[in-house]
């Protein structure tokens, strides 16, 4: 699995403006020539694509995104969002016990308050990803270009200062990436990462059900989404069970370069 085959940093971050702007010109032309009823399907299609690109984590409408690894081997990429947290040390011990590796998508504001945990993640050989500075879960999808750049830039600087290496991966908050995300990622060469297997462990509290959902989507190259520090307090138990199931099914965890 080569780095070139995995990384997908944005090249033309404003490409969406071309098709969306063109659709609005078409919309006006149809309205002028045939009236608003004929215009309605064009309006629905153009705005529907914009919404789909924003709210669908794996959509490529607004820019490149990685949803799985290009491999046929029984390998998965384990990713853990929202740290660092009080769960981090126990999760690191579990990963060590299973000989597993993960990429931790860290929130910048939480990282700067717990620098020792961030450095410990790196010291134990795990990856670090950018998960925004403040994790504005309710309205990340609606951020404008200045605030979006602020969230990405500040987190990138914080994690680079703490670890001595710039993250290469970015995960949108709640997976929702609006039209301004790609422009914020391009200067840093960041690749947006989504997922192909999740158990909703950020809100669901039953480890068996969470891991069963993940197992249904396990396949070679799957990107597995997990969380830490959720209010229900069961993320460590969920990771423990998932690692047991991965071992039992012959999967190994890998870190893309």
Q: Give the torsion sign (CA, 112, 116, 119, 124).
A: negative
| Set 81, 82, 87, 201: catalytic member | 81
Q: What residues form DSSP beta bridges with 227?
A: 81
| Set 126, 131, 135, 227: catalytic member | 227
- Which own/partner pairs from 155-159 qualify as long-range (CB within 8 Å, at least 24 positions apart)? 155/106, 155/107, 155/108, 155/111, 155/130, 155/131, 156/130, 156/188, 156/190, 158/108, 158/111, 158/112, 158/133, 159/106, 159/108, 159/111, 159/118, 159/128, 159/130
Catalytic residue status for 81: yes
The span from the CA of 102 to the CA of 88, in Å, is 12
Q: Of 18, 65, 19, which Cα lies nearest the Cα of 190? A: 65
Active site residues: 81, 227
């Amino acid at each position: 699995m080569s780095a070139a085959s995995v990384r997908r940093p944005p090249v033309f971050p404003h490409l969406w403006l071309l098709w969306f702007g063109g659709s609005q010109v078409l919309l006006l032309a149809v309205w002028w020539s045939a009236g608003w009823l004929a215009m309605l399907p064009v309006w629905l299609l153009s705005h529907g694509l914009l919404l789909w690109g924003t709210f669908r984590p794996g959509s490529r409408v607004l820019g490149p995104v990685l949803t799985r690894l290009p491999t046929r081997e029984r390998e998965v990429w384990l990713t853990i969002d929202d740290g660092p947290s009080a769960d981090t040390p126990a999760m690191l011990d579990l990963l060590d016990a299973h000989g597993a590796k993960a990429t931790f998508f860290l929130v910048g504001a939480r990282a700067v308050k717990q620098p020792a945990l961030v450095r410990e993640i790196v010291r134990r050989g795990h990856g670090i990803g950018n998960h925004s500075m403040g994790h504005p879960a309710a309205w990340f999808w609606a951020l404008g270009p200045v605030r979006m750049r602020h969230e990405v830039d500040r987190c990138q600087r914080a994690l680079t200062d703490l670890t001595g290496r710039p993250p290469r991966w970015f995960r949108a908050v709640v997976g929702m990436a609006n039209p301004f995300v790609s422009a914020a990622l391009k200067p840093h060469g960041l690749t947006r990462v989504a997922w192909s297997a999740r158990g909703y462990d950020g809100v669901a509290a039953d480890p068996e059900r969470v891991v069963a959902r993940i197992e249904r989507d396990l396949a070679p190259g799957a990107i597995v989404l997990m969380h830490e520090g959720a209010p229900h307090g069961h993320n460590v138990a969920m990771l423990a069970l998932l690692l047991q199931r991965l071992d039992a099914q012959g999967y190994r965890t890998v870190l893309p370069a």
